[in-house]
Each structure stands twice: as structure tokens, then as C-alpha cells.
Amino acid sequence: DTAVSQTPKYLVTQMGNDKSIKCEQNLGHDTMYWYKQDSKKFLKIMFSYNNKELIINETVPNRFSPKSPDKAHLNLHINSLELGDSAVYFCASSQGRAAPVNFGQGTRLTVV
């Protein structure tokens, strides 16, 4: 029974397209995150939601828009995809902001 699940696992799309990545957690955690991992394995936070409220919005292009319909879901929508958006995107969750995070399996996004 997957704790943090995200779909799709792989996403290949053309420049300029709009795409979404979905994430769900069944751990009952109150905080969810989106991280981006680049080709050099650097893991950088993009957004954090606590009980559906946005608490962290790092410097990311406004083409990226997170949406949290409830505290178990945090989706990521990306408009006008660019080549530089190619990366692995991880959804994660934690109970509180200081607790360890549990990661989803990642979505490898390739923009061609």
C-alpha cells in the first residue's frame, strides 16, 4: 500500500505544452511538498502546503502552479513547458514541518 503516490511516473512532452502531475498520500500527514531534482541530483524544494495552505513558494517560474484540493492531495500543473523543466519531480509529505519527509516515487519529466 503506497504511502505517497504520484502519477505519471514518466512524462515526455513537447515544448509549449501544459501538463499536470498528481500526488496523493495516505499517511494522514498535514504537510506536502514538491521537490525538483536536477541532473546533478540536487534536490530543491519548490512548494510546501500545510493543511491545504501554501507556506513555501520558492523562486520558481509562475508557469508552475500547485493545487491542494485537500490535505491528502497536492497536484502540480506546469504551463508552457520549456526544455529546462526537464527533471525528476518528487512529491513528499510529513507530519509537521520538522519531521522527516516521505517521498513519492518521482515523475521523470522530459521536455523535447
Partner 1 sequence: QKEVEQNSGPLSVPEGAIASLNCTYSDRGSQSFFWYRQYSGKSPELIMFIYSNGDKEDGRFTAQLNKASQYVSLLIRDSQPSDSATYLCAVNPPDRNQFYFGTGTSLTVIP
Residues near partner 1, by CB under 8 A: 33, 40-45, 48, 55-56, 90, 97-98, 100-106
Please report how close the Cβ of residue 106 comes to partner 1 at its closest, in angstroms.
Answer: 5
Query: Looking at beta carbons only, is 34 or 75 nearer to partner 1?
Result: 34
- CA-wise closest residue to 91 among 1, 18, 27: 27
Question: Quick one: CA torsion of 15, 103, 24, 87, rounded to 10 degrees?
Answer: 0
CA distance 93 to 99: 9
Please report how close the Cβ of residue 84 comes to partner 1 at its closest, in angstroms.
Answer: 19
Query: Looking at beta carbons only, is 14 or 39 nearer to partner 1?
Result: 39
